[in-house]
Structure 1
Amino acid sequence: MKNIRLIAVVLVTVFGLVSFTNQGPSTKYKCMIQLTNYTGEGAYVAISLINPAGDYEQTLFVQGDDNEWYNTLESWWKFYGKKRNNIDAITGATISGGERSINVIEIEDSKIDAGYSIRFETAVEDQEYYTQDVEFPLTSETVKGKMEGTGFIRYVRMMPN
């Protein structure tokens, strides 16, 4: 009986330590997305952390809270759809042409100036899809700057929160 209790305590301790491992210090950034003046439905936007190899590593924010339409963000969906991580805490309503949104995203400090980039992918129902509407290297300078879009996004402005 003593051995069983000891094993239970050890297992709970080990699982507790694994569950709460810290990924390292991170910084929150305000991220303003200004859309172009298009007509039509609200835009779905996925903000992703892209690793130095050019692969998706993490979803930072999703503009659009109806998961029925996530597959329209085709490239991101190939990454997210396989894992189906819970992203409820990092989603918001779509925004329409000419509107802007300000969201807070959190980025691990170790990813800055380390070859990573941020990708803004956009899709609008019955319109076009832009895999890299905005994409830029994640550097100390770009997290305080303004980047122009190539599709539904007019520009993105970042600043430490």
Structure 2
Amino acid sequence: MNKIIKVALIGLFSLVFMPQASAQAKYKCMLQMTNYDGLEAYVVVSLVDAKGNYEKTLYVMGPDKQWYNGFKEWNAKLSKKKEKLNGITGASVAAGNRTITTFYIDESKLNKGYTLRFETSVEDKVNHTKDVEIALTTEDITKKTEGKGYIRYVKLNKI
């Protein structure tokens, strides 16, 4: 009987006092590029905290690591954190094209000042560190957001 009580108390203790794992929500991301002149764009999607610091890379559109140095701020952060990108990379995106991908967002970050940052880089062209920024709020996350550079717009849907 004592073993049963100990197991029950340990279980109750861990439910009450241990931090709960945050829920990861899956989002479908539709990205439409503008009709710019040039090669395919590389796009980095990052979670950025309220102070503008990179917290996590959610997705990279562009498979060749040799070109990641075009993203000056992101690449510097990546070098320090030694973040693994396996499983979160895909093809680059050509001018005028549309791509659909999915990634996970930690829902505990909603409504706490975080943003999703879409950075774009095209060879021999100007890079856009903040091509699209989406406020990570329950209201804004699924709104269509216009780009300022190579991205025409981004639209997210929770799935």
Question: For residue 15 of structure 1, what is the aligned residue in structure 2?
Answer: none
Alignment of 1:76-91 (within 5 A): 76-91=74-89
Q: Which runs of 5+ in 1 are unaligned?
A: 1-20
1:134 paired residue among 132, 135, 138:
132
Deviations 1:51-107 (A, max 9, x none): 111100000000001000001011111111222321020000101100011110101
Name the amino acid aligned to 1:95: V
Which runs of 4 or more aligned residues in structure 1 lie more than 6 Å from their structure 2 counterparts after TM superposition? none
Contact 1:142 1:158 in 2 (8 A): no
Q: Look up the match of 1:146.
A: 144
Give the whole-Å Cα distance in 2 for the aligned partners of 1:23 and 1:152: 36
Aligned position for 1:156? 154
Structure-2 residue corresponding to 1:105: 103
- The 8 Å contact of residues 143 and 158 in structure 1, kept in 2 or not, is answered as yes
TM-score scaled by structure 1?
0.84
> Where does residue 45 of structure 1 map in the other structure?
43
- Coordinate RMSD, CA, aligned: 1.4
Separation (CA, whole Å) in 1 of partners of 2:59 and 2:40: 16
1:39 to partner: Cα distance: 2.0
SS in 2 for 1:80: helix
Question: Partner amino acid for 2:137?
Answer: T
Give me the TM-score of the superposition, normalised by structure 2.
Answer: 0.85
Deviations 1:30-67 (A, max 9, x none): 11110000121110100000011110000000000100
Which residue of 70, 73, 76 maps to 1:72?
A: 70
The alignment of Structure 1 onto Structure 2 pairs a total of residues equal to 141
The answer on whether the counterparts of 2:135 and 2:141 sit within 8 Å (CA) in structure 1 is no
Specify every segment of 5 or more residues in structure 2 that has no aligned partner in the other structure, as ranges.
Answer: 1-18
Find the partner of 2:25 among 9, 12, 27. Answer: 27
Equivalent pairs: percent with the same residue?
45
